[in-house]
């Protein structure tokens, strides 16, 4: 299995090679040369596997340059009951009728980002040790990604994390979760700016190729192919748990921002998993909903992006979307490159002639949810079932309900636990979400964070002073 660029300008590479890279040299994204297909017999033979062993099977189709036994050890170390608080790793939580939650947020930071990050926390040290090198992960976070990366990489050999966060802009819980880590290889840098400004500093440093090479900088952002591959696993897991027969179809509803989570569902469907619909849910930032409805892709600027109560979906330029367009255009990389160049010039492109195939061929449908919808959904699910859902998951439940069909299980991806976004929970039901066991005292723990001006000079000086080589 080798990987090429969605824009055609990269020599085919192995998994371990694309693992440590960000964008392809031509600005495109790494994508499998051909998507592997799983036969019905093989799928059926996976029914009794643990989550970790299922992960080794699914990932083994994408990772052909690491021995299967080694990979199986890495997934067993990643998906433990200790890290996920449940033997199932990903429990199914019935809601009402055919609708259930796929519980992706039982990991250390209470959001689905842990599902892929915990795997990266195993495979990065493995690949780095084999290559006798190390990596300094540099990133900016508005909340969930940064903490998932830090919890996955803490105390791991050969890896350090330098994570910029906007000073004073995250929730008390999110700050406590990140800044209470005391590990020597974790560096929390609270910068005096907003998320976009922090992101600009990261981009400037990552595009300074000398600096990047000298300090061995890398990234774990959502375009990383290994994250997508690790996310494919839970679509297989969800289907296996929701069905008893191989011909049974299942639909999945996915609260979406950067298009990483639902892209994994699209890959699973191309691999032959019997998925009926992929229901894409957005909040008020509905660029993707607009695309799947009309075929016109018109990303918005940071200024036009609404601040909402499902903040992890406040994204108007979906970085993984290019991989879907590559498949839509049948792997015509030149056409993908032309579309993105047009996007740079005119701010949009039009694929409306393909719109009928979005659902017919790829199963995609979409819908939008608003702040009022989130509150109503959180309240009504709580009253009817006693289950408390977070605002992002509520967007998924709201849109899923529009596409429910009799006889077809609908799995809504639970992308975070309510404790992480308790202010909105309180607004919906009148009291805050309970804190999970073991986290009751999180906010009173000592915090380790360095406050810096939000500029390239300050951050690069900090990195220079603190990298270990």
Ligand X SMILES: *Cc1c(COP(=O)(O)O)cnc(C)c1O
Name the minimum Å distance from CB 256 to ligand X.
4
Q: Beta strand 349-350 with 364-368: parallel, antiparallel or unpaired? A: unpaired
Name the minimum Å distance from CB 143 to ligand X.
7
Contacting positions for ligand X (CB under 6 A): 111, 113, 144, 222, 255-261, 312-313, 392, 415-416
Which of 136/310 has CB closer to ligand X? 310
Name the minimum Å distance from CB 416 to ligand X.
4
Query: In angstroms, what CA-CA distances link 188 with 163, 453, 458?
Result: 5, 13, 14
Name the minimum Å distance from CB 438 to ligand X.
20
Adjacent-strand bridge partners of 275: 250
For residue 451, the tally of other CB atoms under 10 A from its CB is 12
Name the minimum Å distance from CB 351 to ligand X.
20
Residue 86 burial class via C-beta count within 10 angstroms: exposed 0-12, middle 13-18, buried 19 and up: exposed
Q: What's the first-to-final CA gap in the chain, in angstroms?
A: 32
Name the minimum Å distance from CB 391 to ligand X.
8
Cβ burial 116-149 (10 Å sphere, 16+ → b, else e): bbbbbbbbbbbbbeeeeebbbbbbbbbbbbbbbb
Q: 148 CB contacts (<8 Å, ≥6 apart)?
A: 107, 108, 109, 111, 113, 114, 117
Output DSSP code: residue 205: H
C-alpha 75/C-alpha 172 separation (Å) is 32
Name the minimum Å distance from CB 291 to ligand X.
13
Which of 100/393 has CB closer to ligand X? 393
C-alpha 123/C-alpha 253 separation (Å) is 29
Residue keyed to tokens 């639909």? 251
Supply the DSSP string of 236-302, one letter for each residue: HHHHHHH-SSTT--EEEEEE-SSSHHHHHHHHHHHTT--EEEEEEEE-S--HHHHHHHHSEE----G
Query: Angle at CA 348, nearest 5°, toward 345 and 352?
Result: 140
Of the candidates 356, 364, 438, 424, which has an alpha carbon nearest to the alpha carbon of residue 395? 424
Which of 256/286 has CB closer to ligand X? 256
Q: 115 CB contacts (<8 Å, ≥6 apart)?
A: 90, 104, 107, 230, 231, 233, 234
> Is 398 a residue of the active site?
no
Of the listed 2, 57, 93, 113, which one is catalytic? 113
Which run of H or of E encompasses 171?
none
Instruction: List the structure tokens of 405.
Output: 């069909």
Q: Which positions are annotated as active-site residues?
A: 113
């Amino acid at each position: 299995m080798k990987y090429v660029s969605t824009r055609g300008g990269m020599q085919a590479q192995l998994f371990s090679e694309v693992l440590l890279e960000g964008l392809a040299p031509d600005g495109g994204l790494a994508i499998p040369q051909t998507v592997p297909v799983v036969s019905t017999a093989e799928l059926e033979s996976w029914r009794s596997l643990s989550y970790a062993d299922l992960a080794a099977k699914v990932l083994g189709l994408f990772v052909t340059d690491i021995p299967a036994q080694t990979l199986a050890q890495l997934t067993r170390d990643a998906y433990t009951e200790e890290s996920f608080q449940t033997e199932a790793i990903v429990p199914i939580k019935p809601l009402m009728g055919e609708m259930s939650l796929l519980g992706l947020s039982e990991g250390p930071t209470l959001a689905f980002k842990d599902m892929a990050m915990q795997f990266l926390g195993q495979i990065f040290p493995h690949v780095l040790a084999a290559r006798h090198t190390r990596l300094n992960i540099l990133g900016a976070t508005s909340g969930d990604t940064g903490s998932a990366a830090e919890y996955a990489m803490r105390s791991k050999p050969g890896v350090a994390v330098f994570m910029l966060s906007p000073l004073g802009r995250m929730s008390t819980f999110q700050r406590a979760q990140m800044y209470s880590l005391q590990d020597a290889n974790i560096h929390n840098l609270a910068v005096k700016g907003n998320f976009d400004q922090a992101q600009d500093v990261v981009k400037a440093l990552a595009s300074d190729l000398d600096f990047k090479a000298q300090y061995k900088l890398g990234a774990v952002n959502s375009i990383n192919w290994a994250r997508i591959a690790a996310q494919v696993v839970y679509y297989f897991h969800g289907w296996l748990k929701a069905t008893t027969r191989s011909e049974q179809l299942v639909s999945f509803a996915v609260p979406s921002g950067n298009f990483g989570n639902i892209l994994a569902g699209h890959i699973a469907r191309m691999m032959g998993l019997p998925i009926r619909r992929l229901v894409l849910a957005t909040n008020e930032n509905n660029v993707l909903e607009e695309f799947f409805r009309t075929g016109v892709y018109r990303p918005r600027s940071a200024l036009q992006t609404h601040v909402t109560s499902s903040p992890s979906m406040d994204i108007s330029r979906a970085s993984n979307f290019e991989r879907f367009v590559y498949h839509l255009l049948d792997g015509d990389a030149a056409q993908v490159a032309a579309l993105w160049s047009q996007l740079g010039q005119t701010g949009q492109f039009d694929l409306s002639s393909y719109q009928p195939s979005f659902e017919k061929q790829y199963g995609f449908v979409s819908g939008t949810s608003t702040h009022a919808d989130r509150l109503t959904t959180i309240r009504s699910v709580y009253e009817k079932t006693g289950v408390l859902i977070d605002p992002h998951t509520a967007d998924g439940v709201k849109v899923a309900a529009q596409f429910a069909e009799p006889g077809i299980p609908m799995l809504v991806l639970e992308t975070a636990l309510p404790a992480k976004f308790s202010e909105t929970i309180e607004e919906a039901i009148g009291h805050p979400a309970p804190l999970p066991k073991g986290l009751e005292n999180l906010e009173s723990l000592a915090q380790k964070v360095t406050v810096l001006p939000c500029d390239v000079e300050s951050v690069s000086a900090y990195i220079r002073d603190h990298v270990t080589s």
